[in-house]
Amino acid sequence: MNMNRIYQLMKLNRAIKSHRVKFAGILLLHILKLRYLCLRFDPIIACNLSCQMCYFSDKEFRKNNKGTFKSDEIERLAKMFFPRTLQVVFGCGAEPTLYKDFPKLIKLAKSYGVPYVGLVSNGQLIKEEHIRELVNYGLDELLLSVHGVRKTTYENLMTNSNYEKFHAVLNSFNSIKSELGSSTPTLRLNYTVNPDNLEELSDFFKVYGNYNINTLQVRPIMDIGQSGYRNLTLDRYIDNYNNAIDRLSNSCKERGITLLARTQDPAYKSEQEDYSAAIIDSILRYISPQRVWRTDFDWKNVTYDEFCQKIGFINSLFKGIVASKEEIINNNPFKGKLTLTYDVL
């Protein structure tokens, strides 16, 4: 799927103000067994780095959070979810390139006709042969984490990483796509902003401007509970952050790059939970060796449709249609709590 269509859908979602219309659309897609799910899929719970802003910087978290899917389990999950999936992103807080033969995950998703398949990685373990496979298997977007423009910042925040190796991967990605004559996968760079890497955003394109970046995503740091980095708010740097986003927006427009950035409440100071979290929760499914969607889903013995029937998923969608925004905020029927949203700039 062309990434512009994804961003057009994001803009359309923001433009449609009626939650009733959105829930009604999801209900129709669910009943007709059409594609509406967005999957975040961790095939393995492990990471080769100990990034300071990540759970894996915490020794207790690394010790107590492990696991990997067997190949037959991946096949069962694919059969269960992929025919209903609009978008699947492999890698959601863990490093998918640690999974054996990880490019075949993309091949599997595409064999089920999933329109958009993405891969999130720190890039450190990606080799040239992997890039060739990702291109040939039809990966739509490669999303690489980069939390520093300068070498010292990058390697400090992304503990155990190698700055030169990251740039080598970016160079290989450019050259192999050109050699194969492929426009996909597109490249997105994800940058989590904190007080220690904010000011060097002004030099972002001086360092990364030679790479064929399609999307730049900028996320303000948030307190995730277990991480080595403790300077967890931008509340003293809001003006600097807003100015940086304005400059990046202009630079991205000049280069034809899509900028995804949080422009509303970047310090996460609002206590008002957005009702749209419930809408996102109704279509978002997180899958990992520790949990498949919900802890009460016995996915090894029950199908997705059987479980939806058991928990009254259709009734929950009806409740979303008839409920007020305030009722949805106070009693999200989909049991989620998502607050992170982006503007497409």
For residues 330-335, average pLDDT: 68
Q: For residues 223 and 288, which has the higher predicted lDDT (pLDDT)?
A: 288
pLDDT, tens digit, 9 for 90 and up, residues 268-279:
766 545 667 778
Is 131:176 a contact under the CB 8 Å cutoff?
yes
- Tokens 């009734």, located at residue: 315
Radius of gyration of the chain from its Cα atoms, rounded to whole angstroms: 20
- Tokens 């403790």, located at residue: 230
Is 122:51 a contact under the CB 8 Å cutoff?
yes
Domain ranges of the chain: 3-344
Residue 114 tokens read as: 């999933």
Residue 79 pLDDT class (50, 70, 90 cuts): very high
- Tokens 């807003």, located at residue: 242
Q: Is 64 exposed, middle or buried (0-12, 13-18, 19+ CB in 10 A)?
A: exposed
pLDDT of residue 197: 96
Q: Which of 183, 180, 154 is nearest to 166 (CA)?
A: 154
Statement: residue 240 has pLDDT above 90:
yes
* CA 75 distance to own-chain centroid: 22
- pTM to 2 decimal places: 0.92
pLDDT of residue 84: 97
What is the average pLDDT score of the chain?
A: 90
DSSP string of 148-169, one letter each residue: -SSHHHHHHHSTT--HHHHHHH
For residues 56-67, average pLDDT: 88
CATH number of 3-344: 3.20.20.70
